[in-house]
Amino acid sequence: MTHPFEAAIDLRPGADHRLLGRTVPEYANMVGPFGGATAAALLHAIEQHPDRSGDPVALTVNFAAPVADGQFTIDTTLVRANRSNQHWTATMSQDDGVVSTATAVFGLRRDAWSGTEAVMPVVPEPGAVERSNGPEGVAFLQNYDLRFVEGRPPGDGIPRASSATTLWVRHAPGRVLDFSALAALSDIFYPRVYLRRGKPVPAGTISMTTYFHVDAAEVAELGDDFVLATAQGQQFARGYFDQTAQLWSRGGALLVTSNQTVYYKDSFGR
């Protein structure tokens, strides 16, 4: 039986070198599929292109229109390559046009001085944190094991001073991590504005950029383990806020840094 995440990013060759995919109910969000699954499918399309060389370094996905349930088409273009890097563009389309655009950089890592400057949050082990089932009506969250350390989704109407959320997360049912899975996990956070308003308000990611800091061998070593995901907003400005996020391995490796800009309304129905 195919894992639901596998099904969500499964792509088959179509006419004119396009790739065909299909949304799956297990990765549905409140409207359309989980944006992280869209990002993962776009990255996966580039990964399986015969001209692809190296591992993902950067991925930007712009969510241009809601993705309808059903079939989608992905086109990929290798714009430029040099000895170290490849620059790709991609689009996801449905019957009524382009629904997402993406750019990606793939590259080859090499021996060079390395160091982590960000500091991993000090948190209890995942086994010591209670699992949250996630809100009903958000199908894709039922396919992750979520263990909130701070900043669980608020519903009491009390504004928080901080929009920070930190959680342990892994696929449920289990699945080994790969770059597509990390791209999706970059978008695992509910909108930061919820915490600042103390309750859900209309919000949706417009653009997400993810930087990968590990190569394929390092990702493979993660297996199907938990990663620590942490996110916070920096600026909420009249309808758009940003979010900066990190994904850490249990062993303390900074796997991914990711940023996104999110459209929101406040609670007054405007």
Among 138, 142, 207, 225, binds a copy of itself (CB under 8 A): 207
- The full length of the chain comes to 270
Instruction: Report which of 189, 198, 206 is spatially closest to residue 241, judged by C-alpha positions.
Output: 206
Amino acid identity at 215: D
Q: Does residue number 109 form part of the binding site for a copy of itself (CB under 8 A)? A: yes
Instruction: Output phi, psi for 193, to 5 deg.
Output: -65, -25
**Residue entry with tokens 């390395």:** 114
Based on the shown chain and the rule CB under 8 A, indicate whether residue 53 belongs to the binding site for a copy of itself: no
Answer yes or no whether residue 214 interacts with a copy of itself by CB under 8 A: yes
Q: Using CA atoms, how far apart are residues 64 and 48, in angstroms rounded to an integer?
A: 24
Question: Is 236 near a copy of itself (CB under 8 A)?
Answer: yes
Phi, psi of 64 (to 5 degrees): -85, -30
CA distances from 210 to 65, 113, 118, 194, 219 (A): 20, 22, 16, 22, 15
Q: Rounded to whole angstroms, what are the CA distances from 116 to 111, 113, 152, 214? A: 15, 11, 27, 12
The verdict on 197 binding a copy of itself (CB under 8 A) reads yes
Among 7, 64, 120, 129, binds a copy of itself (CB under 8 A): 64
Looking at the Cβ atoms of 63 and 140, the one nearer to a copy of itself is: 63
Contact map string, positions 149 to 168, toward a copy of itself, x by CB under 8 A: -------------xx-----
Residues that bind a copy of itself (CB under 8 A): 57-58, 60, 62, 64-65, 79-80, 82, 84-85, 87, 89, 91, 97-99, 101, 103, 105, 107-118, 162-163, 193, 196-197, 206-207, 209, 211, 213-215, 232-240, 242, 244, 246, 254, 257, 259, 261, 263-267, 270
